[in-house]
Amino acid sequence: MAFWFCCGKSSYRRRRGKEHQTWRVFSLKELHAATNNFNYDNKLGEGGFGSVYWGQLWDGSQIAVKRLKVWSNKAETEFTIELEILARIRHKNLLGLRGYCAEGQERLIVYEYMTNLSLHSHLHGHHSFECVLDWKRRMNIAIGSSEGIVYLHHQATPHIIHRDIKASNVLLDSDFQARVADFGFAKLIPEGATHATTKVKGTLGYLAPEYAMLDKAIESCDVYSFGILLLELASGRRPIEKLSSSVRQSIVDWALPLVCEKKFDEIADPRLNGKYVEGELKRVVLVALMCAQDLPEKRPTMLDVVELLKGESKVKFSHIENSEMFRSILAVESSGGTSVAEDTLDYISEEKELERPLKENTEL
């Protein structure tokens, strides 16, 4: 594998055998043409940082273009340097960057287009009624996305903390292989760029409780979010469910008592119609709860997670099965895992962190 850099043209190329992939700087004109002038009909969705549009380049290849909402000139250099690092990262389970565009006030990021959109859209969105995610696909997505994060945490240089792992950032290619998106991106966004983000980047329901206290993100915060994502994948539930107009329940508080009572069948997504591999479901759920523990030092690393999900370490798994936290409902109650009654937290259902002190968010 070789990278080479063409001075002045901001163009990197990568060679792997016959395969030849490139990324490059796009002109605004080209992206206008590809997206039919960012036509509303081309819009795939909108996140905290901007809107994403489907587009087609002159060579027929399909792209997804993220058009950032607001940008500050101050962040210019950082944006370019980081994007150049991110664009060189390639892994089968990471969404590939095709390039970017920085012209005038416009900042755009160009990605490969994923035909099966996001995991979120299959679990809770437009595609949730089609029920195309059978158990085999879910297991593949769990393992694939964990391998993508292992690459970011342990193999990429420099190491990358994602900071915003969630179902809408796990995209699915034409074979339903998982591609983790938006890695390393959150830290590029300047302070106050949108109403939906704050100093601490992340999304409600997925945020590790200690995240607010830390000055910098660390790997275990991603592990926590990944645990929430695994529970979501197995159960089809949202990270935070609205039980009534004033009561919300986190997915951990819902799942942990069921695990203690060994009611794994009640955790499985009803849309699976009972068609799942019991041992695998148990593995996914127990690993998920280990990841989503309050104490970061008790969480596994993503390397452990991959090994456990693949069923490669019987010793480690039996250690988890016998963990104190799965022994009794009493343990659950003493960990503070109860539903929360809140009148004013309507923003929770919007999945975006608003401009509130994080402590309030993490009391959920």
Catalytic residues: 164
Instruction: Give the binding range for ligand ATP (CB under 6 A) out of 72-80, 108-116, 264-272, 319-327.
Output: 108-116
Judged by beta carbon, residue 182 or residue 351, the one nearer Mg ion is 182
Residue 170 C-beta: closest distance to ligand ATP, Å: 9
Instruction: Give the binding range for ligand ATP (CB under 6 A) out of 105-113, 150-158, 237-245, 271-279.
Output: 105-113
- The residue within the footprint of Mg ion, chosen from 35, 95, 182, 361 (CB under 5 A), is 182
Residue 247 C-beta: closest distance to Mg ion, Å: 29
Query: How many chain residues are in contact with ligand ATP, going by CB under 6 A?
Result: 25
Judged by beta carbon, residue 240 or residue 309, the one nearer ligand ATP is 240
Instruction: Give the binding range for Mg ion (CB under 5 A) out of 18-26, 182-190, 274-282, 311-319.
Output: 182-190
Rounded to whole angstroms, what are the CA distances from 235 to 97, 128, 170, 176, 287?
Answer: 31, 13, 16, 18, 14
State how far the Cα of 322 lies from the Cα of 64, in Å rounded to an integer: 45
Judged by beta carbon, residue 35 or residue 118, the one nearer Mg ion is 118
Please tell me the number of Cα atoms within 13 Å of 72 on its side-chain side.
Answer: 10
Does 293 bind Mg ion (CB under 5 A)? Our answer is no
Residue 168 C-beta: closest distance to Mg ion, Å: 5
State how far the Cα of 146 lies from the Cα of 226, in Å rounded to an integer: 8
- The residue within the footprint of Mg ion, chosen from 42, 169, 235, 293 (CB under 5 A), is 169
Within 8 A by CB and 6+ apart from 195, the residues are 354, 355
Judged by beta carbon, residue 114 or residue 156, the one nearer ligand ATP is 114
Which residues 138-167 are close enough to bind ligand ATP by CB under 6 A?
164
- DSSP letter assigned to residue 152: I
Order of strands across the sheet that contains 340-341? 240-242, 247-250, 340-341
State how far the Cα of 17 lies from the Cα of 21, in Å rounded to an integer: 11
Residue 13 backbone phi and psi in degrees, to 5: -130, 150
Residue 125: alpha-carbon gap to chain centroid: 16
Rounded to whole angstroms, what are the CA distances from 58 to 23, 34, 55, 210?
Answer: 15, 8, 10, 47
Residue 151: alpha-carbon gap to chain centroid: 14
Does 42 bind Mg ion (CB under 5 A)? Our answer is no
State how far the Cα of 357 lies from the Cα of 360, in Å rounded to an integer: 6
- The residue within the footprint of ligand ATP, chosen from 147, 182, 253, 307 (CB under 6 A), is 182
Q: Which two tokens stand for residue 68?
A: 């950032």
Cα 324–329–331 angle (5° rounding)? 40
Instruction: Give the binding range for ligand ATP (CB under 6 A) out of 1-9, 109-117, 205-213, 317-325.
Output: 109-117
Does 169 bind ligand ATP (CB under 6 A)? Our answer is yes
Count of residues for the chain? 364
What is the crossing angle of helices 135-150 and 302-309, to 10°? 150
Judged by beta carbon, residue 139 or residue 165, the one nearer ligand ATP is 165
Residue 250 backbone phi and psi in degrees, to 5: -80, 155
Residue 46 C-beta: closest distance to ligand ATP, Å: 6
Establish whether 66 is an annotated binding residue. Answer: yes
Within 8 A by CB and 6+ apart from 118, the residues are 45, 125, 167, 168, 169, 170, 171, 172, 181
Does 180 bind ligand ATP (CB under 6 A)? Our answer is no
Instruction: Give the binding range for Mg ion (CB under 5 A) out of 17-25, 176-184, 248-256, 267-275.
Output: 176-184
Query: Which of Mg ion, ligand ATP, none binds 302 (CB below 5-8 Å, type-dependent)?
Result: none
Judged by beta carbon, residue 222 or residue 253, the one nearer Mg ion is 222
- The residue within the footprint of ligand ATP, chosen from 47, 55, 184, 227 (CB under 6 A), is 47
Contacts with ligand ATP, residue ranges (CB under 6 A): 44-49, 52, 64, 66, 95, 111-114, 117-118, 120-121, 164, 168-169, 171, 181-182, 203
Q: Which residues are annotated as a binding site?
A: 66
Q: Which residues are annotated as a binding site for ATP?
A: 66
Contacts with Mg ion, residue ranges (CB under 5 A): 47, 169, 182
